Amino acid sequence: MFSIRHADLLDIAFLPVIEAAADTILTSIDGKPLPMALPAGPPRGELAAALKLLVAGRPCVGFARVEELDGAAHLEQLSVLPHRAGQGIGRGLVEASKDWSREHGYTSMTLSTFAEVPFNCPFYETCGFEVVEDLSPALLGLREHELIIGLDRIGRRVIMRATL
């Protein structure tokens, strides 16, 4: 069993390690090996300045980072240690992120993810997210940034939204 809680300063040191480990399970998309590694995550200072950081477990084995884009909550990152995948931790973090966002007055939550990775887009659909094509200025900017850093060379990306 795991508990979801607000991240504390000690947790922040573990988050880049969790993100890097979680990225190792993304070795192929649609059966094709990835042509490049994923870009490194944000530095600790940027993580500490996140709108909201939720973690699962003590010590933490997963985290969710929530930001704000164009007045909506935005799930910027969801990472779970690979050996803890499939235990409901990611789903618990998504639901806790949605709950926190709703409690703080947000009416929707967005995210950007890989379309064809089973534990990305299809997983988020089971959490109530839908692919959207009509993008706000901030989401368009996010997609442009993802293009610049090369995420689209790894696999097709989509923006998703859930109504809170």
Which helix (H) or strand (E) segment holds residue 20: the answer is helix 15-23
Phi, psi of 66 (to 5 degrees): -110, 130
- More confident site: 35 or 74: 74
Confidence (pLDDT) at 49:
63
Cα Rg of the chain (Å, integer): 15
- Counting residues of the chain whose pLDDT is more than 90, the rounded percentage is 56
The CATH number of the domain where 37 resides is what? 3.40.630.30
Q: What's the total number of domains in the chain?
A: 1
Which amino acid does the sequence have at 81? Answer: L
Question: Closest Cα partner for 93 from 149, 10, 15?
Answer: 15
Question: Closest Cα partner for 136 from 155, 104, 112?
Answer: 112
Mean pLDDT of 121-150: 92
Confidence (pLDDT) at 44:
47
Confidence (pLDDT) at 89:
96
Q: For residue 141, what are the CA distances in angstroms to 39, 46, 146?
A: 17, 19, 9
Model-level pTM? 0.86
Q: Report the C-alpha gap between 14 and 98 in whole angstroms.
A: 23
- Domain of residue 111 covers 4-163
Q: Beta partners for 161?
A: 110, 130
Phi, psi of 11 (to 5 degrees): -65, -35
